[in-house]
Amino acid sequence: MSTGSQFQLYLALRLAGYEEFAALRPPVPFIADDIMESFDNPRSEEVFRLLGDMAKVGQVSYLTHHWHLCEIAQRVVPSVIIHRLP
């Protein structure tokens, strides 16, 4: 299994687990650290849609140094807040 496929599977399992957890308990923050670095743009867009939906239930933080992912997030989830660290 390629690294990209491993990252996609790992993220899919985390998202499904979070959804199930949040349905039964108060949601906890969801934090992901650059998990989409190997994703192509269409897959990244879909993940940001899912994260945007999750953010309606609880706090979602995505850490990255890839500016193109920030641009995709802004386009897909207009209410996203991006913090740039110096």
Residue 33 pairs with which residues in a beta bridge? 63
Q: Domains of the chain: which residue ranges?
A: 3-76
Identify which has the larger pLDDT, 30 or 3.
30
Helix, coil or strand: residue 36: coil
CB 64 within 8 A of CB 34: yes
Helix (H) or strand (E) holding 63: strand 60-63
pLDDT of residue 86: 85
- pTM reported for the whole predicted model: 0.88
In the block, tokens 């308990």 appear at 25
pLDDT of residue 38: 85
What pLDDT, in 10s, does the model give residues 9-60?
989 999 999 989 888 999 899 999 988 988 999 999 999 999 999 999 899 9
**Quick one: average pLDDT of 62-66?**
94
